[in-house]
Amino acid sequence: MEEILHMSALELGKSIREGKISVSEAAESCLEQIRRKEPDISAFLFVDEDGLKQRVKEVEEGIRQGRYTSPLAGVPVAVKDNICTRGMKTTCASRMLENFVPQYDAEAVKRLEEAGMIIVGKTNMDEFAMGSTSETSYFQTTKNPWNTKHVPGGSSGGSCAAVSAGEVWMALGSDTGGSIRQPASYCGVTGLKPTYGRVSRYGLIAYASSLDQIGPIGGNVKDCAAFYDVIAGKDEKDASSSPVPVETAVWKEKEDLTGVRIGIPREYLGEGTDPQVKQAIEKAAALMEEHGAFVEWFSLKMTEYVIPAYYIIACAEASSNLERFDGVKYGYRSADVQELHEMYKKSRQEGFGEEVKRRILLGSFVLSSGYYDAYYLKALKTKALIKHELDMAFQKYDCILAPASPSAAPELGTSLKDPLKMYLSDIDTVAVNLAGLPAICLPCGMDSQGLPIGMQLIGDCFQEKKILETAAVYEKLRGSFPVSWKEEM
Amino acid sequence: MSRKIDDATMDNVEILAKLALSDEERERAREEMEKILSYVEKINELDTDRTEPLVHILESGNVFREDEVTNGSGKEESLANAPRKKDGQYMVPKTV
């Protein structure tokens, strides 16, 4: 079993295709690891043991008959619980959707199933993806597999912790302000936030529609690239999905980074960044420079305005998107109400958690008459200026190298007390969402507590191939990264 | 620079947000909002007189398609999620 769990997703897929490992063996070893790790980690909200048996049979047959030919056919995956799965509860980790069973699959889910991948279950997250620690979940607290006293990050904390704990090879997450990259960094795994519009948002329960993107999380760069290939592309059901052809992520392997121009924004490593994070990034930069890359520090202006612009825009969109939860057609309804408006208000009051309500209130305020221009419109103009600075940077560089968070994972129970402070920790990730850029996060070091440190490689719009190639070379140069779990036998 | 959220504004925000906050929650929310707002007001330092607001990152314009049902009615499954239903319809409290 241990051997299977230590394989990459692509290695597992290959062994399955070659008949060396059966799909049921893969699924069983996955379930065994879940039984072993879940009591400590609590990454999953739901494990679909019953559905799995049926699906394993179906995929085994499909591979034999040549229906499933993807390199990832037969590989078990987990799905973040804000991505709709037909017939399987999708709660957004909220009391509001505690019993919600979607009647359709998200497009990304449909595509991974058509590739013959197997959904093991749904993962915990911050409620409605609002939070940076996964602690705003209504149901449970997920722990960091490296040290269970620490958070896994968020909002895709369950997906990243599940991959980190070896419970599953790959997972789907979503990233609105860093929700794939920051937990990937905290959990020592690899996560890709694709260009806005690259992966269909159909069936992703909306937080901030102009920023949300679904992306893959895995144990290494190539696994993420292969998973990205499965889910990316135009979808008629998401009007914002892009018709730009997907550049296949299958590339010619490079040995070094000759010709690659990398810029490091000084503002991302200044005051407030843990010196150990700075050191890890500098070490990664030196390694890449040694192997042919042109590396340069530069000043990325507007960095101090990214958090204000992000929170105004994200909360505004959230307040509008979450208006639909009114207790009428689905979701939580307050028990004892006599009148319609009272039902709306009480259902929302009781169904949403504190952080979600805070963002709805803030969003309602910035969109309200008299404040709209000063906050929302001003934030959209600020976004234009931020985008402009990044456009200029990409005239000079192929990739921007930056940390994914100013520190490694904080301790459980320390972040929610001061919401503003928690928002400020998103400084390294939100500009990417505001500008719609693709970015990959992969591990580049450890801090003195033995917690992973991640680095981001950010590319210009639709340059996924470029950042994946660069990240793959770096990963090879870095060597294998330790795993958080050992076979406890 | 901080703009105090007065009672009338807070009332209006609660109506827009469709939330029934308790007094204690309301005060805490107001305090936190004021704190967050005075931080995000940092963007007022920027001169944006000649900047157009950026809504869509990708310029695609409107996307049209025929309004055709392609996924069936799904009536049963939809109603299965309803908190209350009767005779194939959603049930809500008295509205008038």
DSSP 8-class letter at A209: T
Which chain A residues are Cβ-neighbours of B46 within 8 angstroms?
305, 378, 381-382, 385
Q: Is residue A184 domain-resident?
A: yes
Q: A327 and B37 in contact by Cβ < 8 A?
A: no
Which chain B residues are Cβ-neighbours of A361 within 8 angstroms?
13-14, 17, 19, 29, 33
User: Which structure tokens are listed for A72?
Assistant: 């990832």
Which pLDDT belongs to residue B2?
45
Catalytic residue list contains A29: no
If we measure between CA atoms, which residue out of A270, A272, A223 comes closest to residue A250? A223
pLDDT above 70 (res A186) = yes
Catalytic residue list contains A155: yes
Query: Residue A173's pLDDT band (boundaries 50, 70, 90)?
Result: very high
Beta bridge partners of A42: none
Which chain B residues are Cβ-neighbours of A105 within 8 angstroms?
none
Read off the pLDDT of residues A197-231 as tens digits, 9 standing for 90 and up: 999 999 999 999 999 999 999 999 999 999 999 99
Local structure of A20: helix, strand or coil: coil
Q: How many domains does the structure of chain A reveal?
A: 1
Tokens 């991505």 appear where? A83
Average pLDDT, chain B: 90
| CB of A131 closer than 8 Å to CB of A359 | no
Mean pLDDT, residues A73-90 taken together: 98
Which residue range(s) make up the domain with A142?
Answer: 2-255+465-478
Mean pLDDT, residues A338-352 taken together: 95
If we measure between CA atoms, which residue out of A437, A429, A454 comes closest to residue A394? A437
AA letter at A71: P
Choosing among A365, A373, A387, which should be mutated to test the B contact, i.e. which has the most B CBs within 10 A?
Answer: A365
Q: Is residue A229 domain-resident?
A: yes
Q: Could you tell me the CATH number of the domain that includes residue A170?
A: 3.90.1300.10
Which pLDDT belongs to residue A250?
65
pLDDT values of chain B reduced to their tens digit, one per residue, 96 residues: 345 799 999 999 999 999 999 999 999 999 999 999 999 999 999 999 999 999 988 877 788 888 888 888 888 888 999 999 999 999 999 887
**% of chain A beyond a pLDDT of 90:** 96
Read off the pLDDT of residues A354-376 as tens digits, 9 standing for 90 and up: 999 999 999 999 999 999 999 99
Which pLDDT belongs to residue A1?
63
Q: A368 and B16 in contact by Cβ < 8 A?
A: yes
Which chain A residues are Cβ-neighbours of B92 within 8 angstroms?
328, 340, 343
CA distance A330 to chain B (A): 5
pLDDT above 60 (res A334) = yes
**% of chain A beyond a pLDDT of 70:** 99
Choosing among A381, A383, A388, A390, which should be mutated to test the B contact, i.e. which has the most B CBs within 10 A?
Answer: A381
Q: Is residue A113 domain-resident?
A: yes
Choice between A26 and B67, residue whose per-residue pLDDT is larger: A26
Q: Is residue A376 domain-resident?
A: no
Read off the pLDDT of residues A425-466 as tens digits, 9 standing for 90 and up: 999 999 999 999 999 999 999 999 999 999 999 999 999 999
CB pairs under 8 A between A and B: 172
Which pLDDT belongs to residue A489?
40
Read off the pLDDT of residues A88-141 as tens digits, 9 standing for 90 and up: 999 999 999 999 999 999 999 999 999 999 999 999 999 999 999 999 999 999
Average pLDDT, chain A: 96
If we measure between CA atoms, which residue out of B37, B63, B58 comes closest to residue A211? B58
Domain boundaries, chain B: 7-45
| CB of A409 closer than 8 Å to CB of A425 | no
Q: Is residue A311 domain-resident?
A: no
Which pLDDT belongs to residue B1?
39
CA–CA separation, A321 and B9 (whole Å): 22
